Structure 1
Amino acid sequence: MRQLFVIVILLVTGSLQAWSQDHYDAKKALSSEELFLKQGNTSRIIATPGQKYLVLDASPMIGGFHRYRFFPGDNIKFRMHNETIRFNETIASVSDSSFSIAIINEAVGRMDYQEILLKDIRLMKVSRRIPFISQLAPLLPLAGLIYVGADFFNKGVDDKRFTTDASSLVVGGAFIAAGFVCYKLTFSSLKINSRNKLKVLETY
């Protein structure tokens, strides 16, 4: 059983190391400013000083404070009060108390713009890449299933196949639970309230 546990750990850490090696190139290392600009959509519009953009200052129950920035051209996911629609649109422009999204009107074959007031936003879906944590989100549940599956299909201390014990289920469940926590740290649905404030700032 201990050997099986070690194998699963090696698989997870090996995947993380391979991911890091495949994605890092010293010659292509970006400056802090370039990294900031690459966080969003490639269609992000970075203009002259004085451009307005959305800011979500979030203090969720899991994880610490984080500031999310949304510029014109970025994708934004949100829900509004008294609405069942899940918006997943591109920001067209930002004003002092609202922002506009572009909607294709297929009936007349043109692009329409809908203004969204900040006070009407009820919930926002956001994500952020946390080193190792974001990569572990899908790997840990998979490792848990592999661990339980390997114990189930291989002979155990009772010299029988297709059986498992409580300790294997506990270890596998712990992997899956840890993966769920990593997922919640990476992807969040934040209600706009006193803890999670949506506002408009300007570049300078």
Structure 2
Amino acid sequence: MKNINRSTIIFSIFGFAFIAFVLLTIDKDPKGQTIKEDTSVSVSINETANQEPATPVVASKELDYKGEISSAHHKLNSLLGYGRDQKVDFESSTYHTFYLDTFNLLEQARSSTSSSMEKVNIDLENALTILQIANLKKDLNGLLYTHRIIHDLDRSLNGSKIDWGYSYHAEGKETSAYKRHVISYINKNIELVNKDIEDEKNPS
């Protein structure tokens, strides 16, 4: 009986010692400092602790319009720059691809801008309208006007000097060149665009 009691006491001592060891080592990092759970920062699905929320889709979308305008400018340069304007063939597949790509880029840029960017939107609307007119008339002047609007707009958005005075955004007003070429060209030919839209709605 005495042997049993002594064994039980010894086993109990070792048991208590093991439990004390576990309690002393749990919740500690390798340096021996107690690790406490940080409950001061809540983390949602769209956020990471200690970081700003993810950029909204609309805001990131608005950043795209400059790239789309620059891409359209590059395509216009490729078709018309360095004397190539004298070799434009409105019936060629090269021109057809250029027209569709450039028109789509300008439409994408317009959809990427906010309603508060009124002057940029005016330039994009003018460029799209004149590009449509030029395509319907097979008119080189219309292509050149489109290029000059986008050239000045692209450069003004990047803080560079403009060359033509065809961009409402760049000038901040209607210059004589803007009125004489951009507005005048649209007013003279807008019925072509309206008729084209009607024909698409009501094909014969």
TM over 0.5: no
Which structure has the bigger radius of gyration?
2
Higher relative CO (CA 8 A, sep ≥ 6), structure 1 or 2?
Answer: 1
Give the TM-score normalised by structure 2.
0.24
Give the TM-score normalised by structure 1.
0.24
Q: Which has the higher helix share?
A: 2
